[in-house]
Amino acid sequence: MTDLSISVVAHGALTAGDVDDLRRLFDQEYLHDFGYWIPNQPYGYAPHDFHVIARSVDSVVGHVGWERRTIGVGHAEVVIAGVGGVLISERARGERLGKRLMTRAAQLMLDAGGIDFGYLGCREEVVPFYKSCGWSRVMAAERSIGRDGLAAEDPPGQPLLVLPIASEISAWPAGTIDLRGRAW
């Protein structure tokens, strides 16, 4: 894909045009199943502090968002960047754009300082993509606030992945993960 640019926009700095462009990207993929995308609680998930956005000449063609949060893991507290909103438009798939966006997001997390790990949950079929980007799967139960606003707990086995940022993968603690809020 030619004429592609990747930018980083803080959530509070999104312009009305950025929101419209992101809404078009997300609604092309998810409108039928989840309704309209809204920036402050996309499809019932947590919002992002930062948006890594890929643009072609005339539209947004990719996105990765993340939010800094301290979560509980077993008896430890861990500072993570919760990743969500990973989406590449159909016309931009197969160009390795997803990997470029994930690499840029990881560098942004490192540059932000004080983040131990990237963290995400996903569908089983996309686990190989995240592993190819350096993420590792962890096995744990996960507590969160569900998309419906109610407390939720998932048993171990669902796809949960972490990316070492300021800590080594061996430093990820054992135990139940408490997101202390909504997932991304």
Residue 157: CATH number of its domain:
3.40.630.30
The domain of 150 spans 5-182
Q: What is the pLDDT of residue 69?
A: 98
Beta-bridge partner residues of 90: none
Q: What is the pLDDT of residue 49?
A: 98
Tell me how many degrees the CA angle 109-111-115 measures, rounded to the nearest 5.
45
For 9-37, what is each residue's pLDDT tens digit? 999 999 999 999 999 999 999 999 999 99
Q: What is the pLDDT of residue 181?
A: 98
Q: 173: Cβ–Cβ under 8 A, 6 or more apart, which residues?
A: 73, 74, 75, 76, 78
Q: What is the pLDDT of residue 118?
A: 98
Strands (E) located in 46-174: 50-55, 60-73, 76-88, 117-121, 136-138, 142-145, 151-154, 160-164
Secondary structure class of 89 (helix, strand, coil) = coil
Q: How many domains does the chain have?
A: 1
pLDDT per residue of the chain (184 residues) written in tens, 0 to 9:
668 999 999 999 999 999 999 999 999 999 999 999 999 999 999 999 999 999 998 899 999 999 999 999 999 999 999 999 999 999 999 999 999 999 999 999 999 999 999 999 999 999 999 999 999 999 999 999 999 999 999 999 999 999 999 999 999 999 999 999 999 9
In terms of pTM, does the model score above 0.75?
Answer: yes
